[in-house]
Amino acid sequence: MYNNAEQRRNSIEACWDCRDECQKTLYNISLEMGGRHVEERHVKLMLDCIAICQTAADFMTRHSSMSAEICNVCAKICEACAESCERIGGAEMKRCAEACRLCAKHCAQSQADSKPVAA
């Protein structure tokens, strides 16, 4: 799935960084600010992003044969979360969006570099 161990480590690190940034932003910024920050769709996307980033990192860490599929989903959710954070606006949301986009980039590349999984 990866050209080298460094690429795998970078992808795992991007997932963990995104998970941490989304969690910190949701609990320490969004819930405190209220309003648009706690719109149902936005909060659910952030929670989805937190969960899928952890899952993708876990799958890659154990070299799961299903990592490519999880990375594909992770990239899509991270991109949606980034768009939502940008829509909300503000410096904290921008940092979260940047972490999401970096994770999406790494996961999309990981997924693209992988071989199809036989059923």
CA-CA-CA-CA dihedral for 86, 91, 95, 98, to nearest 10: 40
Report the share of the chain in percent with pLDDT over 70.
90
Q: Which domain holds residue 60?
A: 5-113
**Residue 19 within any structural domain of the chain:** yes
Q: How many domains does the chain have?
A: 1
- At residue 1, the pLDDT reads 45
Cα–Cα distance for residue pair 4/6, rounded to 1 Å: 5
**Residue 118 within any structural domain of the chain:** no
**Residue 43 within any structural domain of the chain:** yes
Residues 91, 93, 96, 97, CA torsion sign: negative
The residue-averaged pLDDT of 68-86 equals 97
Residue 119 banded pLDDT, cuts 50, 70, 90: very low
The residue-averaged pLDDT of 104-110 equals 91
**Residue 119 within any structural domain of the chain:** no
Which residues does 105 contact at the CB level (< 8 Å), separation at least 6?
14, 75
- Of 58, 57, 55, 107, whose CA–CA distance to 78 is shortest? 107
Q: Give the tens place of pLDDT for each residue, 20-31.
A: 999 999 999 999
First vs last C-alpha separation in the chain: 17
Q: What is the CATH number of the domain that holds 109?
A: 1.20.1270.360
